[in-house]
């Protein structure tokens, strides 16, 4: 199983705690073994949280792929003033603490914007999270125009990792970054490009594999 590089310090600490607890339980015996057992379950979860799978799926300029893994919580028409600068459809994906948290580029293109904003740590599934929460916005110009991806921290998330730099040429499905411990990812598509949506609220999507929209 592939693991994101950012996860190894957390994984090492988790298994050191398991080892220390097992050493003490071996000395104390009895019910003390419950502690390393619980810590081992948590350590396995830490490994699973930082997994970084490469999903097979369709590729090509007609497709917009899921930039995150989780459940679609909102599909909303909205004005996007930061980068797209026109009426857009926003697809919001909520990532629970059990989902893959690596983000991937939804299209091929050139990064034209990378902007980080400090903010609150509200529940990532709420409507206000897209405006008020800590976030990193990545604007990509592709063959069908501008696409904005926004990484949003949640109640537990306290670290957004963005690999992109302005001017980078990026490949659909390649790693874009990571959000630690529960979050949300928004994808903004300009309505002028006439994207045909393939998902709806409640749908589960897989990062770099599920098609969010197709261009005609």
List active site positions: 183
Burial category of 26 from C-beta neighbours within 10 Å (exposed 0-12, middle 13-18, buried 19 and up) = exposed
Burial category of 2 from C-beta neighbours within 10 Å (exposed 0-12, middle 13-18, buried 19 and up) = exposed
What is the C-alpha separation between 26 and 35, in angstroms, rounded? 11
Burial 68-98 (b: 16+ CB within 10 A, else e): bbbbbbbbeeeebeebbeeebbbbbbbbeee
What is the C-alpha separation between 199 and 66, in angstroms, rounded? 10
Residue 136's closest CA among 103, 167, 175?
Answer: 103
Burial category of 19 from C-beta neighbours within 10 Å (exposed 0-12, middle 13-18, buried 19 and up) = middle
Residue with tokens 């003033």: 81
What is the C-alpha separation between 174 and 172, in angstroms, rounded? 6
Q: Indicate the length of the chain as a whole number.
A: 216
């Amino acid at each position: 199983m592939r693991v994101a590089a950012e996860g190894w310090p957390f994984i090492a600490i988790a298994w050191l705690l398991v080892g220390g607890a097992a050493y003490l339980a071996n000395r104390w015996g009895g019910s003390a073994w419950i502690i390393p057992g619980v810590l081992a379950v948590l350590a396995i979860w830490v490994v699973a949280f930082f997994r970084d799978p490469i999903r097979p799926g369709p590729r090509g300029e007609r497709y917009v792929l899921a930039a995150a893994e989780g459940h679609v919580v909102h599909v909303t028409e909205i004005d996007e003033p930061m980068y797209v600068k026109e009426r857009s459809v926003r697809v919001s994906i909520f990532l629970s603490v059990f989902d893959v948290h690596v983000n991937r580029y939804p299209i091929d293109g050139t990064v034209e914007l990378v902007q980080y904003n400090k903010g609150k740590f509200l529940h990532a599934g709420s409507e206000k999270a897209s405006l008020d929460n800590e976030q990193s916005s990545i604007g990509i110009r592709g063959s069908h125009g501008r696409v904005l991806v926004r990484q949003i921290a949640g109640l537990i998330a306290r670290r957004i990792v963005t690999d992109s730099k302005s001017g980078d040429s990026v490949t659909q499905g390649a790693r874009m970054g990571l959000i630690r411990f529960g979050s949300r990812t928004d994808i903004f598509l300009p309505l002028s490009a006439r994207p045909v949506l393939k998902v709806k609220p409640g749908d589960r999507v897989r990062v770099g594999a599920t098609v969010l929209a197709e261009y005609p």
